[in-house]
Amino acid sequence: MSGIKRIYACKSSAEAGMIISLLNSEGFNPLDLDTSSHVGFAGADIWYYVQIPEKQYELAKNFLMQNNFKDVI
């Protein structure tokens, strides 16, 4: 069964949009920020998470790490 995994934690929606755009340009299929889940209660979770299909996770993770993106999860 293939699912969705979080791949990157962003401090703003703008940063998340940039990571999503970069992954798209490299042929990956991250979820749009508008359709991915983000719930924070009273500041408990201030991160925006970029999510990607599980089958693409390892390749996308390696791509981000090789390009010095440090908030890969």
Q: What pLDDT, on the 0 to 100 scale, is given for residue 43?
A: 61
Q: Give this prediction's pTM.
A: 0.82
Question: Where residue 18 falls among pLDDT bands split at 50, 70, 90?
Answer: very high
Question: What pLDDT, in 10s, does the model give residues 19-45?
Answer: 999 999 999 999 987 655 555 555 666
- Which residues touch 54 (CB under 8 Å, ≥6 apart)? 2, 3, 4, 5
The residue-averaged pLDDT of 47-72 equals: 93
Q: What pLDDT, on the 0 to 100 scale, is given for residue 68?
A: 93
